[in-house]
Amino acid sequence: MTTIISQLLPADLAQAYRLEKQCHSHPWSPETFQTNQGERFINLKANINGELAGFAICQVVLDEASLFNIAVSPEFQRRGVARQLITTLSEHLIERDVMMLWLEVRASNLPAIRLYESLDFNEVSRRHRYYPTETGREDALIMALTL
């Protein structure tokens, strides 16, 4: 299985949206994908055998960046795709003299939290009742990685 990480292009957004709906209980809208493009963003995709396996959307502001969204196709989860996306993203951010990468993650998403911790992210804070759920709301953990 060869994973190729490259830039997520506007032509990829329809595929990314389909993947988003498979991966997230409360997915972004197609419009949100459109507005998270441009010079301030480093958006990456992972292709495996010509198929979109995952993506990461990251906004850069001065010397900080925020990972807004990351998704990996259920059939490719637990195979290192998210790790490769974040590692490649970190390399791009370092090249742009970014000092800190921030993200928010559902407090219930233990596999993602373990991944982020293994990549040296630290929990910085908690946003109470931030994410919608089927039955109410849940907390978000704010995590940061010093680059």
> What positions carry a catalytic annotation?
104, 116
Residue 14 in marked binding region? no
CA 13 from centroid of its chain's CA atoms: 14
* SS3 state at 143: strand
Residue 105 in marked binding region? no
> What DSSP line would sit under 24-68, residue for residue?
-SSPPPHHHHHHS-STTEEEEEEEETTEEEEEEEEEEETTEEEEE
Q: What is the maximum span of the chain, computed from C-alpha positions, in angstroms? A: 42
CA distances for 97 relative to 24, 72, 85, 122, 125, angstroms: 31, 27, 18, 20, 24
Residue 70 in marked binding region? yes
Residue 72 in marked binding region? yes
Residue position matching structure tokens 């929990």: 123
Query: Per the annotation, where are the binding residues?
Result: 70-72, 109
Query: Per the annotation, where are the binding residues for acetyl-CoA?
Result: 70-72, 109
